[in-house]
Structure formats: C-alpha cells, structure tokens
Amino acid sequence: MSIAHISIENSSAPIRPATAQHILERARQIAPVLREHSVDIEAQRHLPHAIVELLRDAGIFRAAMPKAWGGPELTSMQQTELVETISAGDASAGWCAMIGMDSGIYSGFLPDDVARQVYHSLDMANSGWIHPQGRAERVPGGFKVSGNWRFGSGITHCDVLVAGCLVYRNGTLEPDLETGTPEQWRVIVAKPTDFKILDTWYTTGLTGSGSHDYSVDQLFIPEERSFSFTRPYRSGPLHSAPDAILRKMSGVPLGVARACLDYVRGLVHERIERETKIPWSDDVRVQATMARAEMKLAAARTSVYASLDMQWRKLADGDRFSVDDRVATALARYNAFRTCRSIVRMLFDLVGGASIYKKSPMDRWLRDAETMCQHAVAQDSILQLTGKVLMGGKSASPFF
C-alpha cells in the first residue's frame, strides 16, 4: 500500500470520534497501519502527511480537549493508554501523538476567549519545547521573543507551536511575584510559520518524529498568548497540577516494549537454537527470558497506571498529597522508560544476530528505546529531585 493512500475500513469520509472509548477503538484500528509504514516514517524523518491525517481522523489530537468545547477530555490514564496503543504501532507516531494532544491541556492555561481563537478546531496538533530556553523582553502589550529551541517533536505538521522563555524587563530578569521565584517562566503560544524551522533531526532513534530545532528573533507575542503552568484558567485534574503534559509520556515506552515482546513471542515456534538444536518453545533460557520480560513490563505498567489513578482521584477530590504521593508519578514514569529499555535490550540479545539488520523491527525498537531514555523524565536527575522531596527537601521543579 502506498503511504500516500493510507486508509482503514470506513475511513473514506471519517467522522472523528467524540468519546474516549471511540478514540481508543480507532487507535487500535490504526496501530497495524502505523506498524506497516514504520520504515517509511523513519526514512522521511517526520510523519508523512497521510499518517498525520490518519491520527487526526482517529481523534488523537483532540484527546485532551475540554468537554465544554465538545471535546472528549480524556483522563490522564486514558491519554496514556491512547499513547501506548499508538506507540505499539510506531514509536515516532506515538511520540508525536503524545506531544500533539497537548493542545487540550495548554488551552486551559489561556483565557477562554484567547484559547478558542488559538485552538479554533478540536483537532489541532501542538508542538514545541517548554524549557525556558528563549528570552521574552517585556514591551507594551506583550513581549518581544527571541531564542533557539530544540526538540520540536511534530513541528513539521503542528498547527500551534509553543516555546518556553524567561521574562526580562529592561534587560533584567523579571521575578515572578506570585510564586516568589527570582525568574518568571512563561510559555509563548504562536504559529509554526512565525519561526524558522531548522533541519537538525538526524538521530539514533525516534527518527520519524521530526523533532527539529526552531528559532525566532524579536517576535511580538501579546501577553495573553503566553502562560504560566502555575496559573491555570480551567479547573479540574488536567489543570490543577502542572505536570499533566508529562503524565501520558509513559505510554510511549510501554507501547514499544509491548510491540517488541509480541514480535519475539511470534518468533518462538519457528526458531531453533543454533548450538543446542533445541526449539525455542522448549528452551529453558528462552522461556525464562520471555517470562522475565513479561513480569518486568507488567510491574512497570501497573505502577504507571496506579500512580496516575491515585493522582487523578486526589486532584478531583481536592485531597492533600503526601510526600510519597507527590513523587509517585515521576518515579513510575522514570521506571517505565528505563524498564522498557531494558526489556528491549534483553529481547534484542535473545534474538541475536538477526536483530541487527535494518529489515528487523528489533533494530528500530532498540534505537527508539535508547533515544527516548535521553529525555529529561528518564534521567537520573529525577531520582535526585524525588529523593530530595522524600527526605523533606523542596523540589526545584514545578512539576512535582
């Protein structure tokens, strides 16, 4: 099937789904199509237009849009499951889906009238790096923004592009008087055409995510088209804690590990160990490896969903968080990334020499797993920060 003519049954004139159940059902339908085109996605170094529209028609980008707007407003658990399902088809598509559906979350940090102007359709995809790498110089009515940002995943197809900045006034860092911090971090919201997109995404893995650098010089942004994660305009669990954009990230490694496990299990009945001549289905080493991989994945997945469920319920009920509660989702997320990479490595070794060929998905899964573990959420600094909180210290991160 040509990548330009991707379709699924009854999708010639798709009605975009309006409920979590329907979106998840559509995601399960398109996952095999994504898997079929993974080689093409990687070769192009970004999601091809047909893949983007497949995701859009499946309702992926509208997943977090508010019910007040007619959106499905998936919970963090449902968003994670959605990302997991897409990632089992293709990791780059899952990563872009995870970033793209931030539209609904970001919209809650803007005044409603402004948010409706920016996100004038439920199916708009977001992209951008929120880390305050840019400079927003305060001017009458807003900011003059300059900077260079990395990791704009999905930037080649996004409808809205955000960028994190530190605010300056007359050349001096402006403090955040509401939070008492010496620096004010704001995220500006703009169009991708406002920026220069730099073709920098030549990477080990997640190659199809098109996570290019982007830059701008002296772009005027009205103040109302910027936001702080500490000051939401919309209430509810997706906005009452600033980490909502991170919660669904675990879906990517969980989906990749699941796909890898299923693939290797499918090889069992056709392979015989070269040295011992024992069929894989009877080989104790293979049996133990497969059981260990399933055990590790089940434990990591359970931790992710249990911590998200706990957090969601407490946010919805307005309950206080214990110290352990505050770090639970961050630790579960870190563990999911690291554990899923270890599963892929374990299975890569089990399959052996056949894993190293480009025609094998094992090669791509290993590279994708290694690359995604370089994200900040999977770095050991997370252990240092959460450990500090557990021992009574104050986190330097606004996300927990």
Measured distance CA(230)–CA(242) in Å, rounded: 6
pLDDT recorded at residue 2:
54
Region 165-186: what's the mean pLDDT?
92
Which class for 253: exposed (0-12), middle (13-18), buried (19 or more C-beta within 10 A)? Answer: buried
Taking only the tens place, the pLDDT of each residue in 293-303 is: 999 999 999 99
- Among 9-13, 69-73, 380-384, whose mean pLDDT is lowest? 9-13
Pair 226, 144: CB distance under 8 Å: no
Taking only the tens place, the pLDDT of each residue in 325-335 is: 999 999 999 99
Q: Which two tokens stand for residue 36?
A: 């079929």
Taking 80 as the threshold, does the pLDDT of residue 17 lie above it?
yes
For residue 139, give the amino acid letter: V
Measured distance CA(188)–CA(223) in Å, rounded: 8
**Residue among 162, 151, 95 nearest 126 (CA):** 162
Model confidence at 10, pLDDT cuts 50, 70, 90, reads very low
**Residue among 186, 150, 180 nearest 168 (CA):** 186
pLDDT recorded at residue 396:
82
Region 314-328: what's the mean pLDDT?
97
Which class for 291: exposed (0-12), middle (13-18), buried (19 or more C-beta within 10 A)? Answer: exposed
Q: Report the chain's mean pLDDT, rounded to a whole number.
A: 95
Give just the sign of the alpha carbon dihedral 339, 344, 345, 351.
positive
Model confidence at 11, pLDDT cuts 50, 70, 90, reads very low
Residue with tokens 């911590």: 307
| Chain mean position to CA 200 | 20
Measured distance CA(293)–CA(284) in Å, rounded: 14
pLDDT recorded at residue 363:
97
Taking only the tens place, the pLDDT of each residue in 158-167 is: 999 999 999 9
Region 364-385: what's the mean pLDDT?
97
pLDDT recorded at residue 397:
84
Pair 133, 247: CB distance under 8 Å: no
Measured distance CA(248)–CA(232) in Å, rounded: 19
Please list the residues that pair with 169 across neighbouring strands. 172
Helix axes 91-100, 76-89, angle to 10 degrees: 150
According to DSSP, the β-strands at 196-198 and 172-173 are unpaired
Measured distance CA(214)–CA(191) in Å, rounded: 12
